[in-house]
């Protein structure tokens, strides 16, 4: 096999920035409805904020390590961070051009929506803002005078602030910061206008700017610029094997808001003297500076008012009913008859909730076991589990409390479940449990649900995921063994024959599947692999795929996010093609398809080909045995592979060129899949 140190690889963080640029491309695309383009600007910004809170923080930590430790790395964190800053700076310029040059003019022309600046207000509107300030704003504004080298001011991570230059007669310049209370008030405030057809909005930032003379009476306001600090948000647990792991997670959550800075965002028009003062007063390092435009925290564009203008939004695609499940009063009977596959958000997530609700009420059901990773805010899944416990069922919930940015919510729900008498098991030391599994014991039959996405009815509306409902003993027996490991740390007595499970030879079993294709290609027989993943970064897995390509195995990959593998490289990957699809739904399902000598093997999975998934997590890939369901997944992969509207070609230069085909009719896979499931619903029930 190829040496992982010498194979072509794109660093994961550079590849991730390329993915986030694909999100920015959606904001740039004039064929995307205008109000959806604004949302993609918000998604891009939210993604970038998290990237700085986690990945840039990690790179900075690596830079601080000793020289001997850094010599063991296969990359230079300094060089990667330098590339990151360059790419982000370029993307931010493009972001500003899209926002100012395309979005703002289009809002005015197409929607008659105008974003006002303070100098554009008339006297009537000035009075409105004065009242708004007195009635709503003043109680939330937090002005702080800065005194360099005397008072250390702490800015909250990712909160918005105005940096203000002040002056009084006979005094030198003074500086202050004012927190913009977007955590308390809407970021966008509708301003009354006498023109009924015209809609006028102001950023909360600009309302605060207008009110600065009231906040700093007696001072002249010389200059005002927006700023924010992003801080390290990872939770560091030195030893997960000793002490109370849950308490350590709670302490880590508490420290998250005061982590070290990873980025200082400021208005690029700020004068150097003012920037220098702020750097000294706030202890900002030059390498953490990031110049942007007038407004920050553009993730708030998610909440941009639409004024009911549905014509400037995506056409509605309400989740469809499943032809074999929609009118069934007893789902267990239908599942026992045959495996059932759900595909969200094309089909309703209600069936998963109904399955649990029916289990809670069914007198034949004695036990429910479920693995939770990210839980919805007002979770119907949790409500069903509570009902099951109240009905006397034995309920065990494995709650992964190390799910990044969901730790606090998961701890809350774990506490609630324990209060209701549910048996709750928590995170395993040095492992994350990322499997999406449910097991219901009903009489002598076990029923299982295996998914590629979380038990979360909210994200199921926008994440594309598969879920399998089955009573197949081959699968349910092994799901039970996984739960025995989660609940009792009891390892399977022998190698699993059907599921591919992280910590139980998952990597080795995937290698075997790849090696079988290599052997077939070497013997001159048909050999192919098709993978749909969120990310691929693991060097050893990439080396295996390069070896397969060199042997003649035809490999197609659909990768949404990180792709460290470099396709079409001479001597490594001439037989590998990779595309990425970014559209209205977030592509989240993982699918592995192997030719297997004509007896195709198809797995759905919770696992990407990342080192963390293959080594540090309990993941689960599950085979699809039913011929009809296998064909459905093959149809899905075929539709996605031939997308010529939202698919981009992944290449070594990270150009994100669209996969266009001018000779063919437009094929937008997500819309075609919706039509596919509409047609499927009309077919005869089995």
Identify the bridge partners of residue 167 per DSSP, sorted by sequence position.
220
Rounded to 10 degrees, the C-alpha dihedral 32/634/481/454 comes to 10
Q: What is the CA radius of gyration of the chain?
A: 27
HEC sequence for 321-382: CCCCCCCCCCHHHHHHHCCEEEEECCECCHHHHHHHHHHHHCCCEEEEEEEECCCCCCCHHH
Angle of CA points 225, 227, 228, to nearest 5°: 170
The two beta strands, 445-451 and 463-470, are antiparallel
Q: Provide the strand spans (E) within 241-339.
A: 261-267, 289-292
Contact call for residues 274 and 175 (beta carbons, < 8 A): yes
Among candidate residues 305, 79, 103, the one with its CA nearest the CA of residue 186:
305
Contact call for residues 51 and 562 (beta carbons, < 8 A): no
The two beta strands, 554-559 and 528-533, are parallel
Dist CA 156 CA 163 (whole Å): 14
Dist CA 169 CA 551 (whole Å): 80
Among candidate residues 95, 31, 22, the one with its CA nearest the CA of residue 649:
22
Rounded to 10 degrees, the C-alpha dihedral 410/413/414/419 comes to 170
Among candidate residues 110, 483, 159, 412, the one with its CA nearest the CA of residue 300:
159
Could you say which of 296, 343, 434, 671 is catalytic?
434
Angle of CA points 105, 109, 114, to nearest 5°: 65
Dist CA 117 CA 105 (whole Å): 15
- Answer yes or no: 434 catalytic: yes
Among candidate residues 251, 235, 263, the one with its CA nearest the CA of residue 60:
263
Phi–psi pair at 568, nearest 5 degrees: 60, 35
Dist CA 398 CA 373 (whole Å): 9
Q: Three-class SS of residue 215?
A: helix
What are the counts of helices (DSSP H) followed by strands (DSSP E) for the chain? 21, 28
Dist CA 358 CA 347 (whole Å): 19
Among candidate residues 634, 624, 601, 452, the one with its CA nearest the CA of residue 513:
601
Dist CA 136 CA 139 (whole Å): 7
Query: Look-up: residue for tokens 């606090």?
Result: 408
Which long-range CB contacts under 8 A does 409-413 form with residues at least 24 apart? 409/374, 409/375, 409/377, 410/372, 410/374, 410/375, 411/246, 411/249, 411/250, 411/253, 413/372, 413/375, 413/379, 413/382
Query: Look-up: residue for tokens 């919706």?
Result: 674
Among candidate residues 131, 115, 125, the one with its CA nearest the CA of residue 202:
115
Dist CA 308 CA 99 (whole Å): 21
Among candidate residues 397, 388, 338, 328, the one with its CA nearest the CA of residue 364:
388
Active-site annotation, residues? 434
């Amino acid at each position: 096999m190829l040496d992982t140190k010498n194979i072509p690889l794109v660093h994961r963080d550079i590849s991730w920035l390329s993915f986030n640029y694909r999100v920015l491309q959606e904001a740039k695309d004039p064929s995307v409805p205008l109000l959806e383009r604004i949302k993609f600007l918000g998604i891009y910004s939210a993604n970038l904020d998290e990237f700085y809170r986690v990945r840039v923080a990690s790179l900075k930590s690596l830079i601080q390590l000793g020289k001997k430790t850094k010599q063991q790395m296969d990359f230079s964190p300094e060089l990667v961070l330098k590339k990151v800053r360059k790419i982000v700076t370029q993307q931010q310029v493009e972001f500003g051009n899209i926002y100012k040059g395309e979005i703002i003019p289009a809002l005015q022309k197409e929607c008659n929506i105008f974003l006002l600046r303070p100098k554009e207000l008339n006297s009537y509107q000035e009075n409105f803002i004065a009242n708004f300030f007195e009635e709503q704003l003043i109680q939330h504004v937090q002005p702080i005078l800065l005194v360099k080298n005397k008072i250390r001011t702490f800015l909250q991570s990712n909160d918005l602030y105005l940096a203000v230059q002040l002056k009084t007669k006979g005094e030198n310049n003074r500086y202050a910061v004012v927190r913009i209370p977007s955590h308390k008030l809407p970021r966008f405030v509708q301003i009354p206008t006498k023109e009924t057809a015209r809609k006028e909005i102001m950023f909360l930032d600009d309302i605060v700017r207008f009110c600065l003379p009231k906040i700093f009476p007696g001072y002249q306001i010389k200059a005002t610029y927006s700023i924010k600090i992003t801080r390290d948000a990872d939770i560091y647990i030195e030893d997960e094997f000793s002490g109370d792991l849950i308490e350590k997670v709670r302490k880590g959550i508490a420290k998250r808001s005061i982590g070290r800075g990873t980025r200082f965002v400021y208005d690029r028009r700020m004068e150097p003297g003012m920037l220098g003062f702020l750097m000294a007063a706030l202890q900002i390092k030059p390498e953490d500076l990031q110049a942007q435009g007038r407004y920050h925290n553009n993730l708030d564009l998610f909440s941009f008012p639409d004024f009911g203008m549905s014509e400037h939004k995506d056409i509605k695609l309400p989740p469809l009913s499943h032809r074999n499940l929609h009118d069934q009063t007893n789902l267990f009977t239908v599942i026992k008859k045959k495996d059932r596959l759900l595909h969200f958000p094309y089909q309703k997530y209600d069936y998963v909730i109904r399955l649990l609700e029916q289990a809670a009420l069914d007198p034949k059901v004695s036990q429910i076991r479920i693995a939770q990773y990210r839980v919805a805010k007002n979770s119907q899944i949790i409500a069903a589990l509570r009902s099951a416990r109240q009905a006397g069922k034995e309920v065990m919930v494995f709650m992964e409390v190390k799910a990044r940015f969901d730790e606090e919510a998961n701890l809350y729900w774990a506490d609630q479940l324990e209060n209701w008498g549910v048996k709750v098991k928590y995170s395993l030391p040095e492992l994350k449990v990322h499997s999406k599994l449910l097991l219901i014991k009903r009489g002598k039959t076990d029923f299982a649900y295996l998914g590629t996405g979380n038990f979360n009815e909210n994200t199921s509306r926008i994440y594309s995921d598969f879920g399998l409902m089955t009573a197949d003993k081959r699968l349910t027996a092994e799901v039970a063994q996984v739960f025995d490991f989660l609940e009792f740390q009891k390892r399977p007595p022998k190698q699993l024959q059907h599921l591919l499970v992280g910590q139980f030879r998952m990597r080795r079993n995937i290698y075997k599947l790849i090696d079988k294709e290599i052997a077939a290609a070497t013997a001159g027989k048909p050999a192919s692999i098709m993978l749909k993943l969120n990310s691929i970064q693991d060097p050893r897995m990439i080396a295996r795929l390069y070896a397969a390509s060199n042997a003649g195995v035809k490999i197609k990959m659909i990768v949404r996010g990180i792709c460290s593998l470099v396709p079409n490289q001479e001597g490594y990957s001439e037989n590998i093609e990779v595309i990425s699809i970014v559209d209205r739904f977030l592509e989240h399902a993982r699918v592995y398809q192997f030719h297997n000598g004509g007896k195709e093997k198809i797995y759905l999975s919770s696992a990407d080909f990342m080192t963390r998934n293959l080594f540090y997590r309990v993941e689960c890939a599950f085979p699809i045995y039913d011929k009809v369901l296998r064909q459905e997944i093959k149809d899905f992969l075929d539709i996605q592979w031939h997308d010529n509207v939202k698919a981009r070609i992944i290449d070594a230069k990270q150009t994100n060129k669209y996969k266009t085909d001018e000779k063919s009719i437009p094929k937008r896979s997500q819309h075609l899949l919706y039509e596919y499931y509409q047609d499927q619903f009309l077919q005869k029930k089995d």
